[in-house]
Amino acid sequence: MISNSKRLVLLVLFSLCWVVPATAQTGFDLERIQRATVFIMQASSVGEELIIRCVGTGTLVSRDGLILTNAHNTVQGENCPGNTLIVSLSVRADEAPVPVYQAQIVQADAGLDLALLRITRQNDGRIVERSTLALPFVELGDSASLTLDQTITVVGYPSFGDDAVSLLRGTVIGFTAEPSGGSKSWIKTGLEIPGTMSGGGAYDAQGRLIGVPTTAPVTPDSPQSRCITLQDSNQDGLVNTNDVCVPVGGVINALRPSSFARPLLRAASLELSLDTVTEFFDRSTVGGTPTFSGMFFAPSVNAAGMPTSVSSSLPAGTDSLYLFFSYQDMTPESVYEMRVTIQGVENPTFSLSPVRWSGGRNGLWYIGTTGQPIPNGLYDFTLFIDGIPIDSARINVGGSAELIPLFSDVVFGVEDLQGNLFGEGFVLPTGSTASARFIYRNMVDGAPWTAIWYFEGSEVYRESNVWSGGADGTQTIRVQDPNGLLPGSYRLALYINNKLAAISDFTLAGAQQGAVARIFANSHFTTASTQAEAIDAAPVNNFTAGTESIYALFDWEQIRPGTLWTMRWSIDDETFYERTGPWVGTESGEDYLLELSAPGGVPDGTYRMELFINELVFADTEARVGIGQLPIDRFAQASGIQMRGQILDAVTGDGIPGVTFVLVSADFSAAEFTRDWSQEQIYALAITDRNGRFQLDRPLQPNTPYSVVIVASGYIPVLADGVEVAPDAGVVDVPIYLTRG
């Protein structure tokens, strides 16, 4: 008679020759993805009841309980004021999810509308030890490599937790560009994705997470607001309009690329916490109702996110189109939308469903597309804020290119005595003169033209002339103030024959250092016992392993409150923190202080802090901790060979629930593991469901010897060493029989 251990080895070896055909060809493991998809409810306490405030879908992205989802339905805000996050899991793929855990937000980016949650408690409030979790998770894919017409699968919950996890299959129909993320800020699909799937997952053919379906319900007082009442929140015995109404987003047609979530996942996985110690009173407060204005079109954008030129029509064969507009008094909770029609028919490829605002408070914004065909036709673009139409514009695509007078490629700098222009292009040091140079084509002498300079939205100088520079060339113009131009945001608008021909923004900040601006100075890292001591501590470039906190400091000079700036932190050249927002500090100052910390000490690695304005780096500081390199994370990858199966009673053939299946790492034998049951020796772990089914929480690596330990109450334990899988195994699905003891 074959022993249990021998039986297991034979079954595994036999299973290596059997592969699910679809999985072997594509690597798409639907069962794992479904089990990694969770339903999230944000709730608040009313008496002894938990009242649901917002709902959405999420995806487990680590074995120890990190969940990727949207920020708008998890982070506390005006529309989602709850303080408790309930996580429901799919126990069976064909059944509604079951509340199992509670979670907390560990990383969030309101502008990108992404958040990472960490499971911390059982649903009954008991604390969960992370090391005991062995949850199925998915791996992030390369969203930047997506192409048009590529097949994707969207997975999430189609209702308020009453239905099983659902999937939709479609293709990529386009990409939407924004300043927040470049040419692929949004992945567009022709699928009609329900609003409750917001925060879920979109997958490529290999089963890797490449996007997050994202929408944002408009504010409750909007005429287009949609919400559903689920509970008797006021406890009057009735469920009606007097109760809390849970906001529901409309149909989703846009995905946030998963690459945007990598910094959040990196920081959460390493448990890195970056805190701003220096506090300021926010001097750039919002002063009015959010609005858009001044819509115009451009064929392309430059490196600073400015229009290369202004177009009133585009020729046939166009593959790049951008809508620009000014925005005022926008907030991270503002919801904006763009609807596009071609010949009066709504077009989802170029439209953008309602999403959270990811820009600043005031400035110039664009939505566009590049690298895909733009069909001929008459296009109407309409912008909405919180469900209310704000402005619209029209452009015709088709016909032949027109030879019309134009200005393009505006850049800014500092002139020398010979009239040469120097500098960074869109960030100038403060001084008495700012110069702009632009290209002109097809001009006619005698044509009227105008240059208007703005400072912080108000006109400061206007120059109107008759053109006399010939047909083609370059032109330089200036704005001056003998008392000195103030730091802040400037704009130059150029007109030909009273029609807008070019527009571009630039920033004045910092002191002049040659032709460039010195905005941030004395940036360095240090260590100290307290935050107060860090200010006077000497700079440090090398830290010992296990350092509790790293402090970063820098000075700043002539930055007007409200100026957009960016801070980026990376470890081993992998970004784990990046935020863009308005400067809220004093105009000049010293010792802006930040503290980077992690439980148990800051991980070994090479850390870098970069400070930007208008995409230009003005400070770059680096330091090493310990060996200067992160150790390999043995739990970081979800790729490999999946192993699942069913554990059965050898006599009855019935599935056995609650069986512990442990895969021991290659460094230890099954006998060694059973002596100590050390968490460090576990490679993967699973508990069988009520039908005896299991799936290991980590994939197996080919040609690697593992040991197996199977323990069930009332049955003889199974111990086996030297279990391997072949490189072409695909998915291993094994039946395992246990004998009662």
- Read off the CATH number of the domain in which 353 is found: 2.60.40.10
CATH code at position 194:
2.40.10.120
The answer to whether 723 and 736 have CB atoms below 8 angstroms apart is no
Phi, psi (deg, nearest 5) at residue 12 = -65, -45
Contacts (Cβ under 8 Å, ≥6 apart) of 699: 637, 638, 639, 640, 641, 642, 643
* Domain-located, residue 23: no
Rounded Cα gap, residues 737 and 741, in angstroms: 13
Q: DSSP state, 669? A: -
The domain in which residue 480 lies consists of: 406-513
Rounded Cα gap, residues 267 and 262, in angstroms: 9
Write the pLDDT tens digit of every residue in 164-217: 999 999 999 999 999 988 899 999 998 999 989 999 999 999 899 999 999 988
Average pLDDT, integer, range 314-332: 94
* Arithmetic mean of pLDDT over the chain: 88
Clarify whether residues 434 and 345 are in a common domain.
no
Average pLDDT, integer, range 615-627: 95
Q: Which pLDDT belongs to residue 643?
A: 83
Clarify whether residues 218 and 115 are in a common domain.
yes
Q: Token pair for residue 69?
A: 């989802």
Clarify whether residues 61 and 141 are in a common domain.
yes
Rounded Cα gap, residues 60 and 553, in angstroms: 36
Q: How many domains does the chain have?
A: 5
* Domain-located, residue 439: yes
Write the pLDDT tens digit of every residue in 492-523: 999 999 999 999 999 999 999 888 899 999 99
Write the pLDDT tens digit of every residue in 214-238: 998 876 555 556 777 777 777 777 7
Residue type, 176: T
Q: Which pLDDT belongs to residue 631?
A: 75
* Domain-located, residue 15: no
Clarify whether residues 141 and 226 are in a common domain.
yes
The answer to whether 380 and 394 have CB atoms below 8 angstroms apart is yes
Nearest to 390 by CA among 342, 458, 326: 326
Clarify whether residues 564 and 590 are in a common domain.
yes
CATH code at position 653:
2.60.40.1120
* Domain-located, residue 12: no
Clarify whether residues 471 and 615 are in a common domain.
no
Domain boundary among 343, 364, 397: 397
Contacts (Cβ under 8 Å, ≥6 apart) of 685: 134, 660, 661, 662, 663, 696, 697
* Domain-located, residue 467: yes
Clarify whether residues 616 and 675 are in a common domain.
no
CATH code at position 467:
2.60.40.1930
Q: Which pLDDT belongs to residue 455?
A: 96
Clarify whether residues 210 and 82 are in a common domain.
yes
Q: Which pLDDT belongs to residue 634?
A: 44
To the question of pTM greater than 0.85 for the whole model, the response is no
Domain boundary among 599, 625, 651: 625
The answer to whether 587 and 559 have CB atoms below 8 angstroms apart is yes
Clarify whether residues 140 and 226 are in a common domain.
yes
User: Beta-strand (E) ranges in 260-376?
Assistant: 273-276, 291-298, 313-314, 320-328, 335-342, 345-346, 352-356, 363-370
* Domain-located, residue 368: yes
Write the pLDDT tens digit of every residue in 680-718: 788 888 888 888 888 886 778 887 888 999 999 899 999
Write the pLDDT tens digit of every residue in 445-494: 999 999 999 999 999 999 999 999 999 999 999 999 999 999 999 999 99
Q: Which pLDDT belongs to residue 79?
A: 82
Domain boundary among 625, 649, 681: 625
- Confidence at 4, pLDDT banded by 50, 70, 90: very low
CA distances from 725 to 137, 167, 200, 708 (A): 21, 30, 32, 13
Q: Which pLDDT belongs to residue 188?
A: 95
* Domain-located, residue 223: yes
Write the pLDDT tens digit of every residue in 561-585: 999 999 999 999 999 999 998 999 9
Residue 155 has pLDDT above 60, yes or no: yes
Clarify whether residues 125 and 253 are in a common domain.
yes
- Confidence at 24, pLDDT banded by 50, 70, 90: very low
Q: Which pLDDT belongs to residue 285?
A: 54
Nearest to 74 by CA among 63, 85, 66, 59: 85
Clarify whether residues 260 and 314 are in a common domain.
no
Clarify whether residues 182 and 299 are in a common domain.
no
The answer to whether 436 and 425 have CB atoms below 8 angstroms apart is no
* Domain-located, residue 631: no
